[in-house]
Amino acid sequence: MRRAVWLVLCIVIVAAPWLVAAAVPRQQRYVLHVLIFTALFAALALSYDLVVGHVGSLSLAHPAFFGVGAYAAAILATEARWSFLADVVAACLAAAVVAALVGVPLFRLAEHAFAVGTLGLALVASVVANNWVQVTRGPLCITGVPKPTLGPLAVTTLPAFYWLAVAALVAVGLLYQGLTTFRLGRAFHAVRDNEPLAAAAGIDPLKYRLVAFTIAAGLAGGVGALYVHYLSVMCPEEMTVALTVNLLVIVFLGGVGSLRGVLVGAVLFTALPEVLRLAPTWRLVIYGCLLLLVVIRSPGGIESLLPRASR
């Protein structure tokens, strides 16, 4: 039964461009555009959940890593003319390196200080992106980032980019599953649930937190690179603290620590506003209220409200 559901879901996802073209022919480009954003946001949220959900560190620095990756890819693609795959890899590495560097001092801090410290990092990164005009062009943005090319294939049409985004999401999802199960996953959860006990059992909390933090940052950087190649521009506004708020909503609304929950959260978060078509300020009010209710009433998110289907 479950296999069948999975199979159908996979077919729907792969065939989406044709299904959308058939269902809403006049709006298909817009719908695909929303789906691409959804896939990219879902991947970003999964990377964030690694840190928040599985290692239990409330980091608020994710926009900084997304931004580092995005700018790295944008600059390498426009100034140095690197190929798509090369600049995506470079973006992941750059973000991961930054995370490793700041992670060491940050994780020495007590929990509250850690959160505020990561917030400070995100803010400083945002201010630097906006003002270091020689490198990032500041508010004038980096423009003209070319469309991705995978060897002989050029990803220029919307359906092509959709499949690329979905492929990326699948890759991130598989990595997420792999990291959060088996011994590594158990170690992460031990650190999250009972740090002193974990330490006593020989699991170094600092090391495991840093590992999760760095990998998550690398993934965020990769998503940033994809984002930049899709939009062909990168501006400092894309990496503000507001991005953290969006990620928090997705992760907590959907279900922190759960693959399915985060995916559901991402779909709801990106699709719902399009359906509701509310004024942007009201949209934020509703997000805030939803987040408040969810975090108070059912911090497990929607995932915890669904019947416990054994995975």
Interface residues with another protein (CB under 8 A) are 26-31, 33, 37, 58, 105, 108-113, 115-117, 119-121, 123-124, 127-128, 130-131, 133, 138-141, 143, 231-233, 235, 237-238, 241, 245, 248, 252, 279-282, 284-285, 287-289, 291-292, 295-296, 299
Cα 168–chain centre separation: 11
Cα(164)–Cα(236) distance, integer angstroms:
25
Give 197's contacts (C-beta < 8 A, 6+ positions apart).
Answer: 190
Q: Which two tokens stand for residue 118?
A: 């990561």
CA-closest candidate to residue 234, choices 106, 97, 120, 142: 142
The CA distance from 253 to 32, in Å, is 24
Residue for token pair 């999401």? 169
Structure tokens at 4: 């069948």
User: Which residue blocks in 132-276 are alpha helix, DSSP H?
Assistant: 133-136, 158-180, 182-193, 195-200, 205-231, 242-254, 259-276
Helix 28-49 / helix 205-231 crossing angle, nearest 10 deg:
160
Residue 11: CB atoms within 10 A of its CB come to: 11
Which of 183/277 has CB closer to another protein?
Answer: 277
Report which of 77, 76, 90, 229 is spatially closest to residue 148, judged by C-alpha positions.
229
Q: Which residues contact 51 (CB under 8 A, 6 or more apart)?
A: 57, 59, 62, 212, 213, 216
**250 in helix, strand or coil?**
helix
Q: Which two tokens stand for residue 37?
A: 């954003």
